Homo-oligomer: A and B are copies of this chain.
Amino acid sequence: MFERYNKVQKAVLETTLRIINEKELQATSMSLIAKESGVSTGSIYHYFSSKEDIINELFKGIVMFNGEAVMKGVHELDSVQEKFQRAWINYFRLSLEYPLGFQFIEQYSFSPYIYQSSKDEAYKGGWCGPMTKIYAEAVQQQLFIDLEPRLMVQMHIGTAVYTIKGHLQNYLELTDDDIHRIIQSCWNSVLK
């Protein structure tokens, strides 16, 4: 997930992601990260300027990774519906394959711990922009009702996030069939 980083940074980021999911931010101490990653605190501070920096780098790294994964193979497709389906399937698959990344983004994307600059940078490399374009295209083709594309995307992100969260909390089943039906009902929900 953190292929663009060097070995030490990768170890730190992966360890931090794991601990933060188990224990929350406040219980994720630098000394714990050091111990579990096998990197000394001194070295961590050689590669990251602060604990905040680690969290922000984590955020940006995951968002970038997700951005590529969600849009993978989407642009070669023809119809808006195919793109819509492929992108959302990608999103569900990704989230279920990398639940730690999913939960981290969910917990911290609205946190003051994440700098505005990280959010801005993330927006550029993330998938929300491209997804919004697909919806805009659907509106233009008069497939979708005349709602703000950003609003529709936000609605469906919510749908996806909450069903995935319910599943990861062992509260809901989520078969491949379920996923297809959820995506289908998202499509239907804004169909003209």
Residues of A at under 8 Å CB distance from B? 22-26, 103, 106-107, 110-113, 145, 147-148, 150-151, 154-163, 165-166, 169, 171-173, 178, 181-182, 185-186, 188-191
Q: How far is the CB of A187 from chain B (nearest CB, A)?
A: 9
> Within 8 Å CB of A145, what residues of B?
181, 185
The 30 sampled A-B contact pairs (Cβ below 8 Å) are: A22-B112, A24-B25, A24-B111, A24-B112, A26-B26, A103-B110, A107-B107, A107-B111, A147-B185, A148-B173, A150-B166, A150-B172, A151-B163, A151-B166, A151-B172, A151-B182, A154-B166, A154-B171, A154-B172, A155-B159, A156-B159, A157-B158, A158-B159, A158-B162, A159-B159, A161-B162, A185-B189, A186-B189, A188-B191, A189-B189
Whether the pair A148, B165 counts as a contact (CB closer than 8 A) is: no
Whether the pair B169, A155 counts as a contact (CB closer than 8 A) is: no
**A51–B39 CA distance with the chains assembled, in angstroms:** 26
Whether the pair B154, A158 counts as a contact (CB closer than 8 A) is: no
**A188–B106 CA distance with the chains assembled, in angstroms:** 27
Residue of B nearest to A168 (CB): B110
**A161–B154 CA distance with the chains assembled, in angstroms:** 9
Closest 5 CB pairs of A and B: A158-B162, A189-B189, A158-B158, A185-B189, A26-B26
Given contacts A22-B112, A154-B163, A158-B161, 11 further A-B contacts (CB under 8 A): A24-B25, A107-B110, A110-B165, A145-B181, A147-B178, A147-B181, A148-B172, A151-B182, A154-B165, A185-B189, A188-B191
